[in-house]
Amino acid sequence: MDFFRAFYRAYKKRTPAFLQAVIRPFWRFIIKIKTLFHCVICVKTVVSWKRADFVYKTFDYVRHSSLELIAREIYENNIGGNVAELGVFQGDFAQYINQIFPDRKLYLFDTFEGFNENDVRTEKTNKSYVPDNDIFKNTSINMVLGKMRHKENCVIKKGYFPETAKDVDDTFAFVNIDVDLSEPIYNGLWWFYSRLEKGGYIFVHDFNHKRWTGAKIGVKKFVKEYGGVPYFPLSDGAGSVIFMK
Ligand SMILES: C[S@@+](CC[C@H](N)C(=O)[O-])C[C@H]1O[C@@H](n2cnc3c(N)ncnc32)[C@H](O)[C@@H]1O
């Protein structure tokens, strides 16, 4: 009892020594418990959403998680159209598009031989970043198809975009544009945006990327010429933007 009385007296006086020795550590402890409790609740909520397994396996949680939630919106809202990726390289992201849209045709546009010389020249004129010439050459159609769970859905469009799109007559629910340079990004937005279903989405990778500065130039040029298309900056690893129609 004496201890509690002494404690109560000290609490009433609230001397700096008492605050320092007892009250502050006590509140710090409570805040730690509260934070821990909050983390447990968050993990429990996310797990209970029954997320696709790839969301947890990949390095860029925000990018992959956004793809999954967008696919969910597309299915829940019965948005029609097929899906596409412009800029496939080794198919690392395309495999998840293929997995999460199992009933849609997946168009895969890439030179499969790296950047186009004219696009690189434009980039140099803009004083934007372009790495050495051998980048993105280490790929093949077989390598990409080997990663696909639903290979039968894949339509390979090998060669320079937008030329490879000339014979495509389709509409889209989801498109990922990941071609790094301003010119193919600009061309990709013009080509896909008009073919995007209402309620569909386009991701453009690298918009806020520190190095690939051409991405923002391509996006802004399209937005200005089209007459103001709203987009949402995503806080994923590369600073993508999302267009929604
Ligand atoms: C960053 S990589 C794509 C990475 C891939 N999306 C991923 O997540 O793993 C960029 C790709 O865009 C392709 N590309 C760039 N410009 C192109 C164009 N005009 N036509 C077709 N493909 C192009 C390159 O060949 C390269 O494979």
CB 193 near ligand 1, within 6 Å: no
Which of 47, 65, 80 is at the close of a domain?
47
7 within 8 A of 13, measured Cβ to Cβ: no
**Ligand 1 atom, smallest distance to 139 CA:** 27
**Ligand 1 atom, smallest distance to 159 CA:** 21
Q: Are residues 43 and 127 in the same domain?
A: no
Question: Separation of 46 CA from ligand 1 center, angstroms?
Answer: 32
CB 236 near ligand 1, within 6 Å: no
pLDDT tens figures, 79-113: 999 999 999 999 999 999 999 999 999 999 999 99
- By most ligand atoms within 8 Å of CB, the mutation choice from 59, 60, 85, 88 for ligand 1 is 88
Number of domains in the chain: 2
126 within 8 A of 182, measured Cβ to Cβ: yes
Q: Are residues 109 and 95 in the same domain?
A: yes
- Ranking 49-53, 219-223, 227-231, 241-245 by mean pLDDT, the lowest is 49-53
57 sits in the region (left: phi over 0; alpha: psi -120 to 50; else beta) called alpha
pLDDT tens figures, 106-135: 999 999 999 999 999 998 888 888 887 789
CA 226 to CA 224: how far, in whole Å? 6
The pLDDT value given to residue 55: 81
What's 54's DSSP letter? H
Question: Separation of 118 CA from ligand 1 center, angstroms?
Answer: 15
Question: Separation of 204 CA from ligand 1 center, angstroms?
Answer: 12
Q: Are residues 215 and 133 in the same domain?
A: yes
Question: Separation of 167 CA from ligand 1 center, angstroms?
Answer: 20
Q: Which amino acid residue places its CA nearest to atom 6 of ligand 1?
A: 88
Q: Are residues 121 and 80 in the same domain?
A: yes
- Cis bond before residue 162 (omega within 30° of 0): yes
Question: Separation of 224 CA from ligand 1 center, angstroms?
Answer: 24
Range of the domain at 226: 52-244
Q: Are residues 26 and 70 in the same domain?
A: no
The pLDDT value given to residue 68: 96
The pLDDT value given to residue 189: 98
For 121, the 3-state DSSP assignment is helix
**74 or 26: which carries more pLDDT confidence?**
74
The CATH number for 119's domain is: 3.40.50.150
Q: Are residues 183 and 127 in the same domain?
A: yes
Read off the pTM.
Answer: 0.83
Q: Are residues 150 and 176 in the same domain?
A: yes
pLDDT tens figures, 179-226: 999 999 999 999 999 999 999 999 999 999 998 999 999 999 999 999
